[in-house]
């Protein structure tokens, strides 16, 4: 366990550094979008391209692994929405609560952390889960969030806009280009490859620092908008679902698939279960703010899962590795 904590500590320490820097205004809130832009449009796509290009194409196109992970994500979304909706929580807040429960912080944190823990072979299954969460899980939850306002028609429009947003997101395209390079055994010319390498090497530390800064900013925005404190039942159960139920669900579904004869590699299942054990994606707070959901509730869930994951994720690694 100590050896695992020695690997995970620097990752969570960088998140804490970003949180403190933004909380103490050493990093102005106005600078955070610039950090996000660098990570999302430059560093992270290069990192994902490099991992994709160095990963066998069969791992990136593992239909069985993708089906297992997607089924668990859909089941989780349905369960959280069904249990959350009520007089105080409508479709909008229930949908974003489901998204924050089902969408791990794989891009900014998970891929480099899992590669550091398990080796380069962990990149393929982790990248596969990113595609599923970006394209399907987030689009579905955004569509569900619109059912309060405009019914099914509004949900259809929201789903189309969400897919349009995915098309403009550079991460899926970087993964696709990396997969194509892997399949065709292509390598960029040396100066381009070195540029990609420099940006890829910057992705992990800057992304982790940015997670902390985004959490501090989200907490500040939520405090400005919040009039009454959230009861624990509005956020603690969702945080527990994310950190405990999600990985257990993926692990159980994967073993059921293997028992049924599905060609799912145990190594891929381990990576997917650990992806599910990651804290909630920090960009869900930005989406919640954009779609006028309860940002305070979402920020609390993300902050709680990120803080607790230092121990829960490390524990999951100790059990599953």
CATH of the domain at 147: 1.20.1530.20
Beta carbons within 8 Å of 29's beta carbon, 6+ residues apart: 22, 217, 220
Domain hosting 228: range is 2-320
Domain count across the chain: 1
Whole-structure pTM value: 0.89
The confidence score (pLDDT) of residue 158 equals: 65
Q: What is the pLDDT at residue 1? A: 76
What pLDDT is stored for residue 90 in this prediction? 86
Beta strands per DSSP E along 174-320: none
Per-residue pLDDT tens digits for 73-112: 999 999 999 998 877 788 889 999 999 999 999 988 999 9
Long-range contacts from 233-240, C-beta under 8 angstroms, 24+ separation: 234/88, 234/89, 234/297, 235/297, 235/300, 235/301, 235/304, 236/304, 237/83, 238/80, 238/84, 238/97, 238/100, 238/101, 238/301, 239/280, 239/301, 239/304, 239/305, 239/308
Per-residue pLDDT at 149: 64
pLDDT of residue 152: 54
Average pLDDT over all residues of the chain: 89
Locus of tokens 């804290």: 279
Contact 138/103 with Cβ under 8 angstroms?
yes
* Residue 155: per-residue pLDDT: 62
Could you give the CA distance from residue 152 to residue 67 in angstroms, rounded to a whole number?
Answer: 26
Q: Which residue has the tokens 């949900």?
A: 155
Name residues of the chain where pLDDT drops below 50.
Answer: none
């Amino acid at each position: 366990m100590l050896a695992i904590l020695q690997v995970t500590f620097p990752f969570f320490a960088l998140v804490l550094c970003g949180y403190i820097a933004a909380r103490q205004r050493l990093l102005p809130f106005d600078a955070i979008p610039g950090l996000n832009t660098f990570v999302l449009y430059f560093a992270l796509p290069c990192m994902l391209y490099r991992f994709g290009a160095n990963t066998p194409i069969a791992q990136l196109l593992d239909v069985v692994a993708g089906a297992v992970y997607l089924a668990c994500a859909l089941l989780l979304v349905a369960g959280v929405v069904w249990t959350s909706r009520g007089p105080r929580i409508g479709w909008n807040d229930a949908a974003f609560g489901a998204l924050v429960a089902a969408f791990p912080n794989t891009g900014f944190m998970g891929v480099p952390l899992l590669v550091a823990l398990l080796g380069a072979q962990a990149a393929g299954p982790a990248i596969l889960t990113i595609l599923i969460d970006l394209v399907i899980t987030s689009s579905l939850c955004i569509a569900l969030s619109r059912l309060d306002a405009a019914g099914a028609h509004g949900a259809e429009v929201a789903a189309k806009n969400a897919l349009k947003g995915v098309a403009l997101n550079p991460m899926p395209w970087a993964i696709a280009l990396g997969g194509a390079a892997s399949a065709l055994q292509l390598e960029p010319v040396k100066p381009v490859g070195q540029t990609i390498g420099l940006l890829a090497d910057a992705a992990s530390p800057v992304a982790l620092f940015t997670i902390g800064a985004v959490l501090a900013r989200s907490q500040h925005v939520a405090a400005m908008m919040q009039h009454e404190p959230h009861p624990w039942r509005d956020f603690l159960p969702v945080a527990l679902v994310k950190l405990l139920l999600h990985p257990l669900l993926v692990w159980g579904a994967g073993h059921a698939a293997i028992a049924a004869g599905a060609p799912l590699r145990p190594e891929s299942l381990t990576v997917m279960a650990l992806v599910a054990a990651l804290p909630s994606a920090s960009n869900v707070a930005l989406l919640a703010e954009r779609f006028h959901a309860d940002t305070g509730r979402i920020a609390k869930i993300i902050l709680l899962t990120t803080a607790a994951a230092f121990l829960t994720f490390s524990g999951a690694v100790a059990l599953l590795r």
